[in-house]
Structure 1
Amino acid sequence: MKNDGVTKGSVALLGLGEMGRVLAERLLDAGYPVTVWNRTPGRDTALVERGARRAETVREAVTAATTVVTCLFDHASVRETLEPVGADLAGRTLVDLTTTTPNEARWLGGWAEERGIEHLDGAIMATPSMIGAPEASLLYSGSAEAFGRHRTLFEVWGSATYDGADHGAASLFDLALLSGMYTMFTGFAHGAAMVTSAGVTAEEFAHRSARLLSAMTGVFPMTAKVIDEGDYTGPGQSLEWTATALDTIARASAEQGVSPGPIEMTRALVLAQIEAGYGNENSDRIYEELRAG
């Protein structure tokens, strides 16, 4: 163990981008001893003024705490930051909140295990302004024992959900949910481009979109049931009908001088399933085209 003499419950936070700074602020608010490090100098000034300890090096930060939290740019930056201090991390808990792929999280979990480091991968389902508020949600996977011991700490940031021992599980849920989010925002931007071309404000369009999209999410459980059962022959909008609707939207986009790119993406999935002979089946069948990869 490398943490003899280190204050119990102490946290080192590596990475002080917008999210990292807020994570550190909430820990300070809750009374945790916090050491901070960032590759670019100067981002820790306000945190140090509030009581955080500044570390000049990664090694200094890691050896000052029992729990090390990373919130960095990507998987490559995590490796670049942590690999030189692997021996110093032994006996400590590493919580990586960097957005990475499931396999990258699994790699880090294996690397940590080989060095006697307890590892949890985490996914932040919130914007920086939401951290510490009831709507903030964070997902974790990896060591169940570490999750149990640190749950009180995690709940400083938001609700904490444990997704199992697979180190990549939290990342998988994170990126799957973000896929839906980014697709939704792209669809909103496309619709806004259509209506603003006719002099309607994006704000007015946002009010209408929010009502419709909120109602549509209520259909998710029914769609999920169809997908899980694999039976697309029941009632619902057929692929043929959907293709016609998408063609109409694409033509309307062109008429307004707007790129039909988001619609063409969905249309390609629909047409592929029609060409495979499933035109009369439910439009939820595009799931099968996505699965076919």
Structure 2
Amino acid sequence: MNVIGFYKIPTFGLSILNTIMNVKVQKTTLATIKPFRSLFLQEINVQIRYNACHERGWSDSYQLSIDQQMVGYGSVKGQEISDRDTVFEFYVLPAFRRYTTPLFEELLKVSKATYLECQSNDAHWSSLVYEFSQNINADTILFEDQCVTDWVMPDVQFRPRRDDEPHIEGAGAYVLERAGRIVATGGIMLHYNIPFADLFMEVDKDCRENGLGSYLLQELKRECYQQGRVPAARCSIANKASKATLLKAGFKVAGFMLLGTVKG
């Protein structure tokens, strides 16, 4: 069943025809919004944390139209996958951003979303989250690559994990080996918007605080670039050790994941 919202905008004083413009928000398919999402990804040019929600069927898509012309889209997912209560992407073509507010208000009305979630490095979308939501908090730090590091560990080998080695759930495809023992694992997740990839790692508890994590991330970055991807990463805002490790490996803070409740 299609869900449609309707809103009229008076255009007095604008450098276009003095008429009444019709704003419409309609539930649609992922295929319909894909061209506009490509423009969004090109404009923002950062890793999108929830990029995979679209292809995995975890989100609903809405097209935003003015006078029957599509000018953008909105995407709604759930805090729990089965729900659809959180607007997490909102994009309007730059030429139509003077109509951002009525378009967004109509999206809220039609979708009945109660949460707004964004990356703080998305300036257009995050400005709306601050305007239309309250009780905003951040739980995740987003990182992007900043510089090349030159950490050296002569007694440690970075290599792919072999097929005959025991597979630990959550372990990555690469390992650090020291004196015949695997002391750390890490990997490169490729389900993010091209060209970005997400790096992750885990160091054995008794081997931490001696630079292994930063060295592993350094080598994963190198491997990531060789695969034609741009490395990125994230960690909990409360995980000070992971943040320090990422910074030491040449990453920098790129933003935060923000979540707020829609104002009544």
Q: TM-score, normalised by structure 1?
A: 0.27
Larger Rg computed on CA atoms: 1
Q: Which has the higher strand share?
A: 2
Higher relative contact order (CA 8 A, sep 6+): 2
Q: Which has the higher helix share?
A: 1
Q: TM-score, normalised by structure 2?
A: 0.29
